[in-house]
Amino acid sequence: MKWLLLLLGIFFEIIALVFMKKSEGFTKGIPIFFVLLFYSLALCCLVLVIRKMDTSVAYAIWASSGILIMALVGVIWLDEPVTIVKIISMLFIVLGVIGLEFFD
Reported pTM: 0.78
d(CA 46, CA 43): 5
Per the structure, the count of domains in the chain is: 1
Q: Which domain holds residue 57?
A: 2-102
**pLDDT by residue for the chain (104 residues), tens digit each?**
888 998 999 999 999 988 998 898 888 989 999 999 999 999 999 999 999 888 888 888 888 888 888 888 888 888 889 889 988 988 988 888 788 777 76
d(CA 2, CA 69): 19
